[in-house]
């Protein structure tokens, strides 16, 4: 039996990239792994900050033990988010096995985007209390604005309701007081029309013409003298103007509370925007730091 002299070709491994086969450029497994790592890092760091912060508070020996807690929590949240996004990008960059700079940065941005969306969803759940951050502040503020006066300034809203109710009771008291004094029933309707016009105008001070018309109606259609009618009307007007002043004060205070809330939400939204941009940059840099140094290292992995 003779052997063939046909030369044999050594078998070599063929990589997908060398064979030119289509391959997805997005390594979603790496992105998901980086996202999970970022969220876990946030959770761990937030728990550590909570532990250290509560340990540092000593209510027995501090006049205001919670002073500066809000500022410290905000700074801690920013630092935590930066560390978590960098670690998440680092994991994504390493597992994605991409050397090309553009691909590496895009994988870091994908990790940032998924972390942001997951965080946004979690802000409406109990878990969002730990990782909600600035998005949670903005969402709570918008909820307060949408909730109306009671959500912005509960005490002012209650005062406003009381004053409006008091104004209605004042009108009922005046009508009840004058009911037995009318000589002509038609005068009651004339009196009510003048009072309704005053209430509809909503002025803090009653117009002198309306005051004189009320005096004339009372003096003409009751047994009260001009002086008695004037004294009675002035008493009503004094009580009404006092109520209107309280009402105007409550409305102004409520407007100021709404403006303060809007300003606070706008500022929080601004910082959230810049925080998101910085977070995207940090995640991309983390992916770049975790990326393999060479194509050979990519194939070995």
Same domain, 174 and 120: no
- Residue 112: the pLDDT is 93
Same domain, 93 and 236: no
- Measured distance CA(294)–CA(126) in Å, rounded: 43
Range of the domain at 54: 26-147+274-300
- Measured distance CA(229)–CA(292) in Å, rounded: 96
Within a domain: 10: no
Within a domain: 267: no
Q: According to the 3-state scheme, what is the secondary structure of the chain?
A: CCCCCCCCCCCCCCCHHHHCCCCCCCCHHHHHHHHHHHHHHHHHHHHHHHHHHHHHCCCCCCCCCCCCHHHHHHHHHHHHHHHHHHHHHHHHHHHHCCCCHHHHHHHHHHHHHHHHHHHHHHCCCCCHHHHCHHHHHHHHHHHHHHCCHHHHCHHHHHHHHHHHHHHHHHHHHHHHHHHHHCCCHHHHHHHHHHHHHHHHHCCCCCCHHHHHHHHHHHHHHCCCCHHHHHHHHHHHHHHHHHHHHHHHHHHHHHHHHHHHHHHHHHHHHHHHHHHHHHHHHHHHHHHHHHCCCCHHHHHHC
Within a domain: 224: yes
- Residue 282: the pLDDT is 92
Same domain, 142 and 199: no
- Residue 145: the pLDDT is 46
- Residue 17: the pLDDT is 47
Phi-psi region of 3 (alpha: psi -120 to 50; beta: other; left: phi over 0): beta
Within a domain: 161: yes
Same domain, 166 and 184: yes
- Residue 91: the pLDDT is 94
Same domain, 244 and 170: yes
The tally of domains found in the chain comes to 2
The model's pTM: 0.56
Same domain, 73 and 32: yes
What Cα–Cα distance (Å) separates residue 226 from each residue in 176, 183, 256?
A: 21, 15, 44
Same domain, 194 and 247: yes
Within a domain: 245: yes
Tokens of 301: 């992995």
Same domain, 115 and 168: no
Within a domain: 7: no
Within a domain: 68: yes
Same domain, 142 and 158: no
Within a domain: 243: yes
Per-residue pLDDT of the chain (301 residues; tens, 9 = 90+): 455 554 555 544 444 444 444 456 778 999 999 999 999 998 888 888 877 776 766 555 555 555 555 566 677 788 888 999 999 999 999 998 776 778 899 999 999 999 988 887 877 665 554 444 444 444 444 444 445 444 455 666 676 677 777 777 777 777 777 777 777 777 778 888 888 888 777 777 888 888 888 888 888 888 888 888 889 888 888 888 888 888 778 778 878 877 877 787 788 778 778 888 998 999 999 999 988 875 555 554 4
- Measured distance CA(162)–CA(146) in Å, rounded: 22
Same domain, 234 and 165: yes
Same domain, 143 and 282: yes
Tokens of 40: 């876990």
Same domain, 104 and 128: yes
Residues 6+ apart with CB under 8 A from 257: 152, 153, 156
């Amino acid at each position: 039996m003779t052997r063939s002299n046909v030369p044999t070709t050594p078998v070599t491994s063929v990589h997908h990239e060398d064979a030119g086969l289509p391959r997805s450029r997005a390594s979603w497994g790496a992105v998901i792994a980086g996202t999970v790592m970022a969220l876990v890092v946030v959770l761990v760091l937030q728990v550590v900050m909570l532990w250290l912060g509560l340990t540092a508070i000593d209510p027995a020996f501090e006049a205001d033990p919670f002073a500066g807690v809000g500022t410290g929590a905000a700074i801690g949240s920013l630092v935590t988010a930066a560390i978590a996004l960098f670690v998440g990008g680092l994991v994504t960059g390493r597992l994605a096995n991409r050397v090309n700079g553009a691909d590496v940065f895009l994988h870091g941005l994908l990790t940032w985007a998924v972390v942001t969306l997951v965080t946004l969803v979690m802000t409406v759940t109990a878990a969002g209390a730990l990782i909600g951050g600035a998005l949670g502040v903005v969402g709570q503020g918008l909820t307060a604005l949408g909730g109306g006066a009671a959500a912005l300034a509960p005490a002012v809203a209650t005062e406003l309701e009381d004053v409006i109710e008091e104004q209605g009771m004042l009108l009922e008291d005046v009508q009840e007081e004058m009911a037995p004094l009318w000589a002509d029933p038609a005068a009651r309707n004339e009196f009510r029309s003048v009072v309704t016009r005053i209430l509809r105008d909503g002025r803090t001070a009653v117009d002198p013409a309306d005051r004189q018309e009320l005096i004339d109606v009372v003096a003409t259609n009751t047994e009260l003298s001009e002086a008695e009618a004037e004294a009675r009307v002035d008493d009503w007007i004094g009580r009404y103007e006092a109520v209107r002043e309280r009402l105007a004060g409550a409305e102004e205070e409520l407007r100021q509370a709404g403006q303060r809330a809007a300003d606070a939400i706008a500022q929080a939204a601004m910082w959230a925007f810049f925080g998101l941009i910085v977070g995207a940059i940090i995640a991309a840099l983390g992916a770049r730091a975790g990326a393999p140094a060479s194509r050979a290292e990519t194939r070995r992995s």
